[in-house]
Amino acid sequence: MGLLSEKAMCNTHGQDSLYFAGWEEYEKNPYDEVKNPTGVIQMGLAENQLSFDLLESWLANNQDTASFKKDGQSIFRELALFQDYHGLPAFKKAMVEFMSEIRGNKVTFDQNKLVLTAGATAANETLIFCLAGKGDAILLPTPYYPGFDRDLKWRTGVEIVPIQCTSSNNFQITAPALEQAYQDAQNRNLKVKGVLVTNPSNPLGTTISRSELNLLLSFITSKGIHLISDEIYSGTVFNSPGFVSIMEVLKDKKCENREVSNRVHIVYSLSKDLGLPGFRVGAVYSNDEMVVSAATKMSSFGLVSSQTQYLLSALLSNKKFTKNYISENQKRLKHRQKQLVKGLEKAGISCLKSNAGLFCWVNMKHLLKSNTSEAEMELWRRIVYDVKLNISPGSSCHCTEPGWFRVCFANMSEATLNLAMDRLKTFVDSTTNTRSQSSHQLLKSLRKNSHTKWVFRLSFDALHDREPDER
């Protein structure tokens, strides 16, 4: 062990989080409709499998591209050789145009300000490496994606300081919460380098409002710090209010050419909007030339393959396809989210009203034995090990209010989701009946004890009244 590095031996990766523990239980006993119908159903994975048929149809109609051919001639050898790690120009162009399309073409992006990375995980870490170091802090509103404890902290040495948001205002970001987080960081002798938000939010499944974005922009302007907007779910917005990018806010406030614009950065990926996490395509977008330069150098440690870029450049350049895909995918997400909400309601469970993402933020406070994190852990264990549904507890997302859970809905079939809801309803009904029976037994016991005490009191009083006669 002494021969290993300090980083190899440190325990700050975050792999011991209950977010990952649920995954491990699923991997031991995965549900399969035929082979393992009583297995664990994976509801802790934010994966979009609802529109694979659209992608597969495009591939079937573009055999040359899928076979790495151009004008009927194979370009496999060309793609197999080393390419410039800045990325294929055709792909970067298609990528920024797709990003604009998702945002309703209200903003445009410059491909020279785009840095390709192997997924959003690499993009976030790369950006943190560019902006901060050991002894610095990034502020994050809670609840937040559990993987950030790994992505932002583990190798960079940067600390995360939470911006505490609560259910009292549907977990929206407030000025007092921002100031308190900034003060908390200073009290820990940490230098705040920026704020990172996920818009739409993971795990809330909600878009950040324009007023919150204006607040964030004012805050980073006054503090002279950075703002990172992780917009990986920007194409999953299926209900109003619509998605507002931080770049749109910069444009509306005429800040595009001001100094603050150099301190606003975007992280994006095709993992959620296109449902291609296995392709490992992410990006950093920044107006700061030094950040772009540094991130480009760092990207050599996590490249996107030339074959992937070639294939996706053709797909994203097909405007008819992308327009139809974005629209149809959002319709399917909306339908599936309704299905989950309906199933939860049948089980007597509510959730935060959502308009985006691949999950719902579910309120199970009424199922807790007490309003404590320990009670949340007990409920989570029962749902994972007994009900066999892997969901993510709120505490793994750093939520300070026990009883909230993230439940994903887009990584399974409708039949599997219905089965999951049936399992959950059965569990809730049994829990409610057990509690009802316990309460009934307790009430009977209290009544019995009260009756006994009343009889005893009567007997005692009668005895006391007779004492003088008996003497």
* Residue found under tokens 């197999």: 80
Q: What is the DSSP string of 422-443?
A: HHHHHHHHHHHHHHHHHHHHHH
Cα separation, 8 vs 221, in Å, equals 38
145 in catalytic set: yes
Given the residues 136, 149, 151, 230, the one annotated as active site = 230
110 in catalytic set: no
Given the residues 41, 128, 232, 246, the one annotated as active site = 232
Dihedral (CA of 249, 253, 254, 255) sign: negative
Cα separation, 113 vs 15, in Å, equals 33
Quickly count: other Cβ atoms within 10 Å of residue 182's Cβ: 20
268 in catalytic set: no
Given the residues 31, 145, 268, 285, the one annotated as active site = 145
The two tokens of residue 294 are: 């540094």
CB 289 within 8 Å of CB 278: no
Report the DSSP beta bridge partners of residue 230.
Answer: 198, 267
CB 174 within 8 Å of CB 219: no
Cα separation, 289 vs 85, in Å, equals 17
Alpha carbon dihedral 361, 363, 367, 368, in 10-degree steps, equals 80
* Residue found under tokens 């439940």: 407
Dihedral (CA of 444, 446, 447, 448) sign: positive
Q: What is the DSSP string of 242-265?
A: ----HHHHHHHTT-TTSGGGGGEE
The two tokens of residue 360 are: 């719902």
Given the residues 272, 273, 288, 391, the one annotated as active site = 272
- Would you name the residues annotated as active-site residues? 145, 230, 232, 272
